[in-house]
Each structure stands twice: as structure tokens, then as C-alpha cells.
Amino acid sequence: MDTKHILDKKALTTSAYEHIIGIGLPIYEWNVIYAVTRTRFTAYSHRLSSEYGFMFIMMVVLWLRSHNVRKEIYIQLDNGSEFCSGSVKKKAEWNDSS
């Protein structure tokens, strides 16, 4: 699981960058790839936060469960703050809610 800041000036043309800002599109992209089938999950948001990270993880897990994935699901996270990198308490809460 990873996030990307869409407004990376090196990746976009100036006109694309201005267009995204001008019409208020979300500036963060959330990605998960389910390794077994290589299914890609993508979502967009205006902010990075652990709350959005948790909601995105839950959306992916619920989708997998609704499509009959019954095995234990392992999610590998980067060390971003949107994934509880600085909070032992929050990480424990996330792990307990599974």
C-alpha cells in the first residue's frame, strides 16, 4: 500500500498541474495491489491522514471479502504518517480492528 502526491511538478506538465489546482481535483492517490491476482485498487483524496488510510484499507479488505477471499490478508505499508508510522497506539488500534 502506498500513496502518491499527484502534484509532483516533475511528473506533470505545467498545464496539467494548473488544471488540477484550478478545478479542485484531489491531490493524493492511494494504491494497493492484491498480489495474488494483481488487482489494483486506487482512491483519491484531498488530504493525507491515518483516517483516510484506515478507510481505504477497510474498503479494500471488504471488497476482497465480498469476492470470496477468505485467507488471511497481509498488508504491507510504507512508513508514511498516513499509516500510523509515528504512533504505536494507533498502530495497535488498527491491528486490533481486523
Q: Tell me the whole-structure pTM to 2 decimals.
A: 0.75
| Domain of 69, in residue numbers | 2-96
pLDDT digit string, tens, across residues 3-34: 889 888 688 888 988 999 999 999 999 999 99
**Distance, CA of 24 to CA of 39 (rounded, Å):** 28
Residue 76's pLDDT band, with cuts at 50, 70 and 90, is confident
Name the nearest CA neighbour of 51 among 71, 67, 28: 28
Q: What pLDDT shows up at residue 14?
A: 87
Overall size of the chain counted in residues: 98
Our count of domains for the chain comes to 1
